[in-house]
Copies of this chain bind each other. A is one copy, B any other.
Amino acid sequence: MGLVVQKFGGTSVANVEKIKNVAGKAIREKQAGHDVIVVLSAMAGETNRLIDLAHSAAESPDEREYDSLISTGEQVTISLLSIVLNDMGYRARSFLGFQVKILTDQAHQKARISMIDTETIRKELKKGAIVVVAGFQGVDEENNITTLGRGGSDTSAVALAAALKADRCDIFTDVDGVYTTDPNICAKARRLERISYDEMLEMAMTGAKVLQPRSVEMAKKYNVPVYVKSTFSDEGGTLVTKEDKEMEREVLSGITYDRDQVKITVVHIPDRPGIAANLFLPLSERHISVDMIIQNASSQGFTDLTFTVSKKDMKTAQKIVEATAKEIGAKKVEVDDDVAKVSIIGVGMLSHSGVAAKMFKTMADEGINIMMISTSEIKISCVIQRKYTELAVMVLHDAFHLEKKK
């Protein structure tokens, strides 16, 4: 007897028929003797529909109201699942962020969970209920509704698993696990049996869509075993867990790509201390995440600074950066959204040399120009021209023999 958290994404709850399938999966765990918490996303497409509605009402919708609007999708699916479960003879109760309650900071659209009150849920579990919780949402100290950003339901699930010390957190999705790369663009992609938190985090942060990065951070922090599984099949699955010896034998775990990138270059900046702060502070104040940053060595008192942001932040970032560039006496600002980032990830990099060189050479051999490079201990990312994305992924997958289990 344990406690299992199950999270189902939008395609798994796209209609009542599919919600009944989800009910079956929850009941199976219940019948196996476990306490069950189910976390749901909105029906596939619903959150996008609400976002479109918001933008048809205003170009820059008020953030508080925007969150209140786009959080309704989960309320629909959790109520429906609870209706189905009750109808099948199981006690089930749905809980919204304010009902749990899931407390967050005030950063609308990318709020962070600060506390989860487990009392109400525990009480219901004790009564034998299957507890169904709305993913993606919380409330701040003033009871304003907040949302956790794209894929936030993963984070809701892992946070609940951590707060309630669950034995397992199953993330059900439309693929049957984590792959060495996107099977849609590389037929040789191979499903991983297990992957470490750190690698999964790098993969999620560099473009793998299977898990929200924050959910992986949180899983690592609280050591929650996360299983990525398919809703529609019992086969396969990937366990995201602590590093173990087996993993270390492989150089790379995966290759990711991210087309949601915009490269911004501030050209010919008079090189004074504090310039980076001048540029990036106003961006962070607007909650715009800057990804890669490269500053050229100063030459004759001037420097260039290049960085990438997410596409959705392009307009705002450009406006802010152009204003700052003027202030600090830079020559101009160049924006290039015809780029993509390709990354290779693996804890094996720590013990293998020549990985970077091999990556660069593989791309050079195909005539792919590398515009920016950034590295971490277990990751190397390159910004390249967008049109070479698939090519880069495929040749790298081959070069590092990711199709074979070592």
Contacts and interface: CB of A to CB of B under 8 A. Distances in A.
Given A72-B72, A75-B68, A80 B57 contact: yes
A187 interface: no
Interface residues of chain A: helix, strand, loop or mixed (majority)? helix
Given A56-B16, A99-B143, A69 B61 contact: no
A19 interface: yes
A215 to B, nearest CB: 25
A280 interface: no
Contacts of A235: none
Nearest to A77: B69
B61 A83 contact: yes
Contacts of A71: 75
Nearest to A91: B62
A98 interface: yes
A81 B71 CA distance: 16
A56 B56 CA distance: 30
B80 A69 contact: yes
Interface in A129-146: 143-145
B84 A64 contact: no
A60 interface: yes
Nearest to A20: B57
Contacts of A143: 98-99
Interface of A: 16, 19-20, 50, 53-54, 56-62, 64-66, 68-69, 71-72, 75-76, 78-80, 82-84, 86-87, 92-94, 96, 98-99, 143-145
16 contacts: A16-B57, A20-B57, A50-B76, A57-B87, A60-B87, A61-B86, A61-B87, A62-B82, A62-B87, A64-B93, A65-B86, A65-B94, A68-B75, A68-B96, A69-B79, A96-B145
